[in-house]
Chain A
Amino acid sequence: MQQYFHSVKLDENKCKGCTNCIKRCPTEAIRVRDGRALIIEERCIDCGECIRICPNQAKLAITDSLERLKNYKYTIALPAPSLYAQFEPKTNPEEILGALLTLGFNDIYEVAVGAEAVSMALNNYLQQDHPKPLISSACPAVVRLMQVRFPGLLKHIVSIETPMEISARLAREKAIQQYGLKDEEIGVFFITPCPAKVTAIKQPFGEKSYVNGAISMSTIYGELLHRLNSPDTRPVESLSGACGVGWGKAGGENHAIWCNSHLAVDGIHSVINVLEEIERGRLNDIDYLEAQACTGGCIGGPLVPQNLFVARVRMEKLVKKLSSQKTKPLQLPKDPDYFRLTKPILPRPTLKLSEDIDQAISMLEEVERITEDLPGLDCGSCGSPSCRALAEDIVRGHAETAFCIFKLRERLQLLAQEMVNLSLKQPPAMGRAREVEIKEGDTR
């Protein structure tokens, strides 16, 4: 398998090997070995669940620093809609954009605008004939989850670029047109709520990404708050409408598109439940499924500074305010091809036990046999997420039965018994006691 970039990484010095993350990972991609978490690279979907759960802050997301802006002649910030919900209601988007601009960007392009364009493209796409339900392509963690665990459903994903990519492309084209810049002179930076977007930039689902880097929302938050209060910060016109901004929270995407019936599901484990349902051939009465890995949608991302529920109220207020305002005229592309994903999304079969199917079957038999023999407590002490996963790891040659503390105890007990038995055996020179025993036996 090709070398794969991951945004989610481990800080080995902070990791205590506590097994919290292995239990939470939706693709069973983490093991604890030598007292430290180990991420199985090809299974990781960069959803960030482990970042959220880790009590020691040992999981982190690799994002870009503002230093990277220096590598480009002209830089553009792409704020995700979820950014607006991180500030108090009295702070309007214009001020937030103004503060963002003072961090060193030459321009701003709101992802909410791209989301509006994508909403229109989706309405168009939904009118054609497709397998039902169609599944949103917006959350990269969900798309990668499907590549690993639900390859049979990949044909349900809409073949449309994400609002982030469309915004980046529009922003680039605008800069080239306005200032006659060369493509490589422009640096486009996404202000990201999650690590999955970072991975989507380094390893795009389409031919290439129009984004050059991603800056974590939480790392620049303090600076933004500071700049908001600075007298040098001037507001920048915001073009976002209610429909685009709404994409920042769960259900917002569905709100922005028209179809007979849609379903919105958020939180990776709930997403898995719904995808399982679709896989069994159900839910074909639904036209469109919006699925987001984070509870609450992007405002619940692992890299956002604000509490999800607080952010949700703020988001709802902002959307309400924007929908009562007159919409600003936007120049957006209408051509369906502009939005198309340029490559099909292919499966990433990382679960198979062996490349040889007959060998895999006999390995599976072995997995079943070992699972049966394990205690079934799924305690995680062995470093695998469940007894079943340990059995798989043993068969793959990555673990041994003695990793199970219960199996180890059983063996110790046997060994102790053996030692007791041995200790009872007397040397011939001390055979008298034994004679007495035998005599006693005879008189019975």
Chain B
Amino acid sequence: MQFEFNIEGMNFTRAGEAAAKIKKALQLVGMEVETVRKALIVAYEAELNIVIHAYHGKLTAEVNSDRVEIKAEDKGPGIPDINLAMKEGYSTAPPNIREMGFGAGMGLPNIERCSDKLEITSEVNQGTQLLATIYNRTSGEK
């Protein structure tokens, strides 16, 4: 099943709502605790990236019993150097965003850490697409 959310750039008051709804859905489905945790972080960071950097975008979560796929597509400035953007602490967020406690350059590294598979494509002045897959692995304790 699929969830879709429209995300507005610079709307910080609603940032995180999509991620929260995805989390609730995954809990209702009965996904493993770790899967929910990872998917929530990926969704939240991806959502915030759109809010901080893009004009507007779409966040999609595809829920299957064995995996969660989170897709973020935006219209925005795009990423000129993806490798650089993946580095911890590297950020192009302006000072006013950093003052709010966002844009510390941890978004993409966090997404990478929490996903099992990650594809990012971007075109400067067009936008960015991100597809993260998180496998629903049964935790060892059970």
Chain A residues with CB under 8 Å of chain B are 151-152, 276, 279-281, 347, 349, 351-355, 357-358, 360-365, 367-368, 392
Please tell me which stretch of B33-41, B52-60, B76-84, B91-99 contacts chain A, meaning at least 4 of its Cβ atoms lie within 8 angstroms of it. B33-41
Q: Which residues of B contact A351 (CB under 8 A)?
A: 24, 27-28
Asked if B37 and A279 sit within 8 Å, CB to CB, the answer is yes
CA distance A281 to B101 in the complex (A): 13
Question: B65: CB under 8 A from chain A?
Answer: yes
Q: Which residues of B contact A152 (CB under 8 A)?
A: 33-34, 36-37, 40
Q: Which residues of A contact B29 (CB under 8 A)?
A: 352-353, 357, 360-361, 364
Query: Beyond the given A279-B23, A280-B40, could you list 14 further A-B residue pairs with CB under 8 A, ordered by the A residue number?
Result: A152-B36, A276-B16, A280-B16, A281-B110, A354-B30, A357-B30, A357-B31, A358-B65, A361-B64, A361-B65, A364-B1, A364-B28, A367-B28, A368-B1
Asked if B27 and A361 sit within 8 Å, CB to CB, the answer is no
Asked if B27 and A352 sit within 8 Å, CB to CB, the answer is yes
Q: Which residues of B contact A367 (CB under 8 A)?
A: 28
CA distance A61 to B23 in the complex (A): 32
CA distance A392 to B27 in the complex (A): 13
Choose one: A280, A353, A368; the contact of B30 (CB below 8 Å): A353
CA distance A238 to B25 in the complex (A): 52
Q: Which residues of A contact B118 (CB under 8 A)?
A: none
Choose one: A151, A358, A361, A363; the contact of B33 (CB below 8 Å): A151
Question: B135: CB under 8 A from chain A?
Answer: no
Chain A residue at smallest Cβ distance from B136 = A357
Chain B residue at smallest Cβ distance from A367 = B28
Q: Which residues of A contact B33 (CB under 8 A)?
A: 151-152, 347, 349
Chain A residue at smallest Cβ distance from B44 = A280
Question: B20: CB under 8 A from chain A?
Answer: yes
Q: Which residues of B contact A368 (CB under 8 A)?
A: 1
Q: Which residues of A contact B7 (CB under 8 A)?
A: none
Question: In the assembled complex, how far is the CB of residue A384 from the closest CB belonging to chain B, in whole angstroms?
Answer: 15
**What are some 25 contacts across the A-B interface (CB < 8 A)?**
A151-B33, A152-B34, A152-B37, A276-B16, A279-B37, A280-B40, A280-B44, A281-B45, A281-B110, A351-B24, A351-B27, A351-B28, A352-B27, A352-B28, A353-B28, A353-B29, A353-B30, A357-B29, A357-B136, A358-B65, A361-B1, A361-B63, A361-B65, A362-B1, A364-B29
Question: In the assembled complex, how far is the CB of residue A399 from the closest CB belonging to chain B, in whole angstroms?
Answer: 16
- Among B34, B41, B136, max chain A CB count under 10 A is at B41
Question: B19: CB under 8 A from chain A?
Answer: yes
Question: In the assembled complex, how far is the CB of residue B87 from the closest CB belonging to chain A, in whole angstroms?
Answer: 18
Chain A residue at smallest Cβ distance from B3 = A368
Question: In the assembled complex, how far is the CB of residue B104 from the closest CB belonging to chain A, in whole angstroms?
Answer: 10
CA distance A266 to B30 in the complex (A): 29
Choose one: B1, B36, B45; the contact of A365 (CB below 8 Å): B1
Q: Which residues of A contact B44 (CB under 8 A)?
A: 280-281
Q: Which residues of B contact A362 (CB under 8 A)?
A: 1
CA distance A364 to B31 in the complex (A): 12
Asked if B63 and A364 sit within 8 Å, CB to CB, the answer is yes
Asked if B16 and A355 sit within 8 Å, CB to CB, the answer is no
Chain A residue at smallest Cβ distance from B29 = A360
CA distance A69 to B18 in the complex (A): 53
Choose one: B20, B31, B45, B65; the contact of A276 (CB below 8 Å): B20
